[in-house]
Structure 1
Amino acid sequence: MTSARDLLSALALELGFEVTGWTDAAPRTGEVDAYRAWLDGGRHGSLEYLPRQLPRRADLSSSLEGAGSVLVLGVSHAFAPQEVPPGGVRLGRVARYAWTPDYHAQLEPLLDVLRAEALTLGVRARGYVDHGPVLERALAGRAFPGWQGRSGMLLSTSLGAFTTLAVLLTDLSAPPPAPAHPDRCGRCTRCVTACPTDAIGPDRLVDARVCLSALTIEQRGPVPWALRPRLGEWLFGCDVCSEVCPWTVRAGPLAQLFVPDAELAHPDLTRFFGVSEREFQRQYGHTAFSRPRRKGMARNAAYVAGNHPDLTGRAVMDLAAQDPAWEVREAAAWAYGRHGLISGLEHLRHDPHEDVARAAVRALEEHG
């Protein structure tokens, strides 16, 4: 007789998940301790909600009473490169997971189907797509062939590092323990040495205070001045540690469920200016760009223009200098300074917001 676990796994694969696996819901002391140490060290940065969620992450029964077994699900976002659409100012790079409409909206309906099927089998269930208090990477490392790489990412010899995770908590009894997948990083440190801000620690945990993904997506207000040059071309997120991983290179493009959109992979930066937050959400509310909101994307666009080797992004800097959000005008002052555009800096040093004026003065002083 086919078990409920087998039926749910088979359905998940039919729905488009590319890898599935089961593990028990009991916390592992080492996993929780490592996560607590990461929080205690302040490496969660501005993600202030994470410490509050620690008790729930350590006890999955707080999310589903009687949780005993977890179905962990993986979907590849390893897309092939996308051609740059014509027109606009299309500078900067976007993390691959954001090349497709918001993965939460795409995966949550599939989890609803799995939950409904579980109920028909007499199983209570609850699904999460990385927005719930769950240590998904730790669970995935136990549930299916994979391991936590030096980058802190879940790695797989078949999928590489570009894997989006989801979980289905159930009240099924714990499955038999499976042997841990061997660590295949070996002596490789490509992700560590390639990280633009040295954010990857020796304990395979990432410092969100300097990680480009956190800075471009979660950071509210200006990015620290000294880190802005290290943003380089990154407009949204960062894929460097995953891109350089030999297992990712070997796996190649794999995505099947998610479909990339070239307009998200290479957005026109000028579209982040001259619109209200409501209009921005109308255009991008179905995408990951909604997380930093309009002024966050406009701020990032100004940084990208400032880091560009020539004045291709001058139009973006000029739009940023006139933006209603002071954080964006402050970014414009830094960008003008990077290119020695004195007239723009002279204008912004008289800005009514003291942080903008201060940034313009600082840029003028740094560039004589």
Structure 2
Amino acid sequence: MNPYSTLADLALDLGFDAVGWASAQVPREAWVRYADWLSAGRHADMTYLERQAWRRTDLGTSLPDVSSVLVLGVSHAFPELPVPAGGVRVGRVARYAWTPDYHDQLTPRLERLEVEAARLGVRTRGYVDHGPIMERDLGGRAFLGWQGKSGMLVSTQLGAFLTLAVLLTDLPFEGRDARHPDRCGRCTRCVTACPTGAIGPDRMIDARRCVSYLTIEHRGVVPRALRAGVGEWLFGCDGCLEVCPWSGKAGAVARALVPDAELAHPDLSAFFGGSERAFERRFAGSAFLRARRKGMARNALTVLGNTLVPEGRPLARQGAADPAWEVRASSAWTLARYAERRAVEALTRDPHEAVRAAAQLELESWGSVPS
């Protein structure tokens, strides 16, 4: 029995859309690019990426005697979903978050692969986007696709809506250590589509300007200068993925993950007025927990300030009384956009300095500063 084909075939049977083998030897150029990205500060406040960054240079620190990697891809290219009735359903959610957390869905499948590998006498260790692994480099060397100008892995068959997982193994690597050819050509649609100019000329993202980072990982308020660029994105951003011609050619090809309209089009009211525990219960198992309730409320205020839908005005007022200072500070901008001057003036008396400063700034934009 060939363990390479057995594991690859099982992965396909388990719902993975793409599989390929790559050498576990990390190319020097891949590590240098990553180190340069870190040294330039383009990882923003994600300091966890710096910790044990050296382990990305040697996969043997994750699995001793590792030699080859089974790289796995799952599509989250879902079709559009209808908007549920009721509530304030404004804003957009990145497609990967339309389902319960993919980590929870893919981990059992990786565990099934680990069990089969053990039966074959193969030592393994699986990761779903949470270990010191450079998955996109591995994906390119496993011929799943190439790193596009957006920095994302792009597949000719699946497009750019691709989630990666890996299974480190001690199987000897068979084949040549090459990578998928670049199919971007002269296309720059992803670069020009980025609303905040986060995509650099070196095919790397500057997280400090990335809408996905700002709405998920960033703590505190969204920088005022970038709020207009966030647009209608409530959680994450698919801008560079949607415009990729390869995504358009692939179409809605997701098969392993099932989307939920309540996650694709959440009621913004759910982020205001309730406790953190109530939020966690309502969105248990979803990616929204990463941003936490106050992050989702902050994001909702940014979306409302950009769309100015009438039903959002009460939520903007509610945000001014939120227990989280980040939400109250964010509400100052949104209330100013709704021309709620008295509500903004009230925030200049908030107990938190950052909230007072945010409200003062909005009043100054009106050309008047209270005494």
TM-score (norm 1): 0.98
Q: Which residue is 1:46 aligned to?
A: 45
- Are the aligned partners of 1:13 and 1:19 in contact in 2 as well (CA < 8 Å)? yes
Structure 2, unmatched stretches of 5+, are none
Find out whether 1:313 has 2:309 as its counterpart.
no
Q: Which residue is 1:91 aligned to?
A: 90
Q: Which residue is 2:239 aligned to?
A: 240
Q: Which residue is 1:256 aligned to?
A: 255
- Are the aligned partners of 2:18 and 2:144 in contact in 1 as well (CA < 8 Å)? no
- Displacement of 1:178 in angstroms is 5.2
Q: Which moved more, 1:280-289 or 1:112-121?
A: 280-289
Across the aligned residues of Structure 1 and Structure 2, the Cα RMSD in angstroms comes to 1.0
- Identity among equivalent positions (%) equals 60
**What CA deviation, in whole Å up to 9, does each residue of 1:186-242 have, x standing for no partner?**
000000011011100010000001100001000011111111111110110000000
Q: Where in structure 2 are the equivalents of 1:117-136 lying within 5 Å?
A: 117-136=116-135
- Could you list the runs of 4 or more consecutive aligned residues of structure 1 that deviate by over 6 angstroms after TM superposition? none
Once residues 179 and 38 of structure 1 are traced to their aligned partners in structure 2, the CA distance between those partners, rounded to angstroms, is 23
Once residues 39 and 203 of structure 1 are traced to their aligned partners in structure 2, the CA distance between those partners, rounded to angstroms, is 14
Q: Which residue is 2:153 aligned to?
A: 154
TM-score (norm 2): 0.97
- Displacement of 1:67 in angstroms is 0.7
- Are the aligned partners of 1:229 and 1:307 in contact in 2 as well (CA < 8 Å)? yes
Find out whether 1:268 has 2:274 as its counterpart.
no
Once residues 24 and 178 of structure 1 are traced to their aligned partners in structure 2, the CA distance between those partners, rounded to angstroms, is 6
Once residues 340 and 315 of structure 1 are traced to their aligned partners in structure 2, the CA distance between those partners, rounded to angstroms, is 13
Q: Which residue is 1:327 aligned to?
A: 326
Aligned partner of residue 291 in structure 1, secondary structure: helix
Q: Which residue is 1:82 aligned to?
A: 81
Corresponding letter in the other structure for 1:93: R
Find out whether 1:168 has 2:167 as its counterpart.
yes
Q: Which residue is 2:63 aligned to?
A: 64
Once residues 38 and 338 of structure 1 are traced to their aligned partners in structure 2, the CA distance between those partners, rounded to angstroms, is 36
**What CA deviation, in whole Å up to 9, does each residue of 1:109-151 have, x standing for no partner?**
0000000100000011110000111000000011024111000
- Displacement of 1:179 in angstroms is 4.1
- Are the aligned partners of 2:308 and 2:337 in contact in 1 as well (CA < 8 Å)? no
Q: Which residue is 2:344 aligned to?
A: 345
Q: 1:137 to 1:168 in 2, by over 3 A?
A: same
- Displacement of 1:58 in angstroms is 1.1
Once residues 232 and 354 of structure 2 are traced to their aligned partners in structure 1, the CA distance between those partners, rounded to angstroms, is 24
Corresponding letter in the other structure for 2:259: P
Once residues 309 and 162 of structure 2 are traced to their aligned partners in structure 1, the CA distance between those partners, rounded to angstroms, is 35
Q: Which moved more, 1:210-219 or 1:222-231?
A: 222-231
- Are the aligned partners of 1:146 and 1:157 in contact in 2 as well (CA < 8 Å)? yes
Aligned partner of residue 74 in structure 1, secondary structure: strand
Find out whether 1:21 has 2:20 as its counterpart.
yes
Find out whether 1:210 has 2:221 as its counterpart.
no
Structure 1, unmatched stretches of 5+, are none
- Are the aligned partners of 1:340 and 1:367 in contact in 2 as well (CA < 8 Å)? no
Once residues 202 and 47 of structure 1 are traced to their aligned partners in structure 2, the CA distance between those partners, rounded to angstroms, is 22
